[in-house]
Structure 1
Amino acid sequence: MRLRHTATWVGVTAAALLATSACGAESARSAATAVGNADKIMAALARATDRTENVGSAEVRMSTVMGDGSPITMEGTYSWGHGYAFDVEMDTRAVQMQRLQDAAKIRMLFVDGAYYYDVDPQPSGPLKGKEWMKVDASAVFGEKGAQALTGNTGGGSPAASMRGLKYANDVDDLGKETVDGQSATHYRAVIDREHLGRFKDAYGNGDNLFGSLTGGSDSITMDVWVGPKDLPVRIKQRFGRVTVTMDFEKFGATSTVKAPPAAQTGDVTEELKKAAGRQQG
């Protein structure tokens, strides 16, 4: 199996689903040095964070734009109530996977620190006769970056991302806006490298695959639109050359995301690391 394009599409799709993890798990340790914000903003964000943590999952619609390229859209389930996981579908051609999947849409899971792509069984190689392709997160974000994003810290959840807002510099209330037909309050923050904590190993490291695709990132600009039920309507993040937008369609009561059976899975992590190394070299 040729993996010429693998480094590109794995980096982009992985970034889209993990983008909202920045800073959340570092919030407790960052509190002592947090930049002061208005009490009203802090109270509103605290309510929204608590509500988001409690619901534990959501149906989402996402869009990822790399530089001036066309957006890659995804729809599905995003879960953080019992471990961070997701189950989404994407346009096969948009993520350059038509050589591995004939269908117009391709399904991608994230479970226990690894990505799984629903592919057509291949005639040879690690995917011979397999229905799922596995890629460990370390192939995209490096070993340290993967640990920061996929460990037992809750770092991948929207609630964790919103906690990061409270400890960022320059948090602003931009007022009321209508988003996806709902009235929401728009908040914006810039999270600099100093407050990225160990997440700089994932986002700010130009030596890993994600950093090579985005150019690395010394800061993350994050926008959150909070609706009348104290739940986010939209989260948008910009880092390096990437912009990721997540719209929340429905909260709670989503299906549990499970890893595919091992017998039906082929692991291409090492092949991807080698391919990425050649591209970076």
Structure 2
Amino acid sequence: MTVGVVRGRKGRQRAMGAVLTTALLCTGAVACGGGDDKSDKADSGKTQSRSQVTEVITAAYKKTSAAKSAKVEMTMSMPSAMDGGGDMKASGVMGWDPMVMDMTMTGSALTEGAPDAPEKVRMLWRDNVMYMDMGAKAAKDMDGKRWMKMDLNSIAEQAGDENLAKQMTGGMDSMNQDPVKQLAMLLDSPNLKHLGPAKVDGVETQRYKGRLTVKEMMESNKGLDEVLSKSEREQLFKNIEKSGIKGYDTEVWVNEDDLPVRMDIDIKSPQGTMKMSQTFSDYGAAAKVTAPPAGQTFDLMEMFKELGKAGAGAGSDSAL
């Protein structure tokens, strides 16, 4: 690769970086909810006791775990101080046993500070590998291939650190947008409470909220020990501590079938508060994700290797 090609790729590389940051937050960051309240207010009913609340959320955890997949609509708002800051919407299907995604993303978080970035990106996730359709415009900088590939297994293998892939995505296998794991976290909140009945897009639900600090998470061993393995729990805590997150609020709306209809999480971090709201439907929907053909994919890590070599060579030439 020539130095001229390296320089010509800088703008597109920034665009790829913006999209990649947003995609990683979408798939693996300890994410966030809130924003505009889409639920219609309902008449307040009798407040449930803590034991009743725990029973409902436990039932929701078991029912959601058994469903293994659902259609998802997501809105995310990230602080401007954060790389990839801005708003983002995504919709598609998600599976959590095994973890797979087929989501289409749009919003300012993709293009903020990177005008060359595509306005819409389809993202596929399977076998710990992410594929993003960067569009025809980006193909000229990716050897004519429009799908960008990021293999976290390969990154971890090259680094000689099996935990690296999880750390990069905020713990994909420990805590992410998987509603089962989010419900597990909610069970661990010492102040989990019932907020009353509410309607979400016309559906009758019961609304629950829990607040949890990182310290409380580390000191408590009830809910997480019941639904996460010891290694998953330890990795989760490490990821959150490294991120500088102090705590977060989780709200969930559960329908009469014991399934979450909506889930919001607000995360307070040094960069500001991240917000994400997810709505779920069609539990059990087919979540089969097929990777793009190898001939149509461009390996992001291979590009970084080439840029590093070219940059080193350019530095040597300048010195001469």
| TM-score of the superposed pair, with normalisation by structure 2 | 0.66
Q: Deviations over 1:24-72 (max 9, x none)?
A: xxxxxxxxxxxxx821111101111111011111111100001377531
Q: Is the 8 A contact 2:102 2:124 kept in 1?
A: yes
User: Within 5 A, what are the aligned runs for 1:104-253?
Assistant: 105-119=120-134, 120=136, 122-124=139-141, 127-136=142-151, 143-146=165-168, 149-151=171-173, 157-194=178-215, 195=217, 197-206=234-243, 216-239=244-267, 240=269, 241-253=273-285
Aligned to 2:24: 14
Decide whether the 8 Å contact of 1:130 with 1:265 is kept in 2.
Answer: yes
The amino acid of 1:256's aligned partner reads K
**2:58 aligned residue (28, 46, 50):** 46
CA-CA distance at 1:242 after TM superposition: 0.9
Instruction: Tell me the TM-score normalized by structure 1.
Output: 0.74
Farther-moved stretch of structure 1 (174-183 vs 40-49): 174-183
Which SS does the other structure have where 1:205 is aligned?
helix
- The aligned amino acid for 1:58 is A
1:268 CA drift (Å): 1.4
Q: CA RMSD in A?
A: 3.2
- 8 Å Cα contact 2:195-2:206 kept in structure 1: yes
Number of residue equivalences = 245
Q: How far does residue 134 in structure 1 lie from its aligned partner after superposition?
A: 1.4
Any gaps of 5 or more consecutive residues in structure 2? 1-8, 33-48, 156-162, 219-233, 309-320
For structure 1, the 5+ residue unaligned runs are 23-36, 207-215, 276-281
CA pair 63-84 structure 1, distance change in 2 beyond 3 A: same
Q: Contact 1:48/1:226 (CA < 8 Å) preserved in 2?
A: yes
Letter aligned with residue 172 of structure 2? T
Residue identity (%): 24
Letter in 1 for 2:278: M
Please say if residues 175 and 186 of structure 1, whose CA atoms lie closer than 8 Å, have aligned partners that are also in contact. Answer: yes
Alpha-carbon distance in structure 1 between the residues aligned to 2:236 and 2:65: 20
Give me the whole-angstrom Cα distance separating, in 2, the residues matched to 1:48 and 1:155: 17
How far is 1:106 from its partner?
2.1
User: Residues 186 and 55 from structure 1, CA distance in 2 versus in 1: closer, same or farther, beyond 3 angstroms?
Assistant: same
Moved more, 248-257 or 8-17: 8-17
1:86 shift after superposition:
0.7
Q: Given that residues 112 and 150 in structure 1 are in contact (C-alpha distance below 8 angstroms), is that contact kept between their aligned partners in structure 2?
A: no
